[in-house]
Amino acid sequence: MSQQQSARYPSLQNRVVFVSGGASGIGASIVSHFCAQGARVSFVDIDDAAAVALIATIADEGMTPPRYIHSDLTDTGALQSAISSVIEQDGPIRVLINNAANDDRHELDAVTPEYFDNRMAINIKHHLFAAQAVSGPMADAGGGAIVNMGSVTYMVGQGGMPCYSLAKSAVHGLTRSLARDLGEKNIRVNMVVPGWVITDRQRDLWLTAESEEEVLRAQCLKRLLMADDLARAVLFFAADDSAMCTAQSYIIDGGWV
């Protein structure tokens, strides 16, 4: 992960940051970029091996490593307990990044009530309850920023994952609602909307020569979208430089038309 080309945001120095799903993919890049800014970063995930490897990489690059807390986001109590422990140790969380998600493909006929509930828990429910847990202390500290991670899937009408697309469209509505409710407390809420970001998971499961050609044909910019492209935008919406930006959905997809 490269931070050499990233802008420096003085307001992020020593700021307490909490990232969900931070062990791999987009989340790992976000964690690494915040560490490079000198923030005090904590993240939750269930992939212990990936988390340990990320922490080692960040430490090897001379940065203060983040704190990792193993937490299953489908367990709301465990998530809010993890957030409470960070607040007790580091003080109010001033930046919340609701990143965790799972984009497993599935067909409509295969969806059961149990699968639906699980997809909502993984892809939308934790956004609300993490925001609930951080908002009080964040407001008392003078405000802060919540950045929710969306997806272009529901915008472009992509099929093959109806529960995921439903949840990601709900992230958009939640972002707008929370921005209104929390604005008086000087808490900004925005959504960063990725196109097809080529993480290791995407390469292993779905990227083929044909799909790569298709996405590059659809994009105005003719290179694959990477996790660092998203992390840099997240930094901006977390920093004081975006002090009057809220209730926005910022699409980063290489100009997918």
Q: Exactly one of 9, 115, 164, 250 is catalytic; which is it?
A: 164
Torsion sign (Cα): 245, 166, 97, 84: positive
The yes-or-no answer on residue 164 being catalytic is yes
Q: Which residues are catalytic?
A: 164
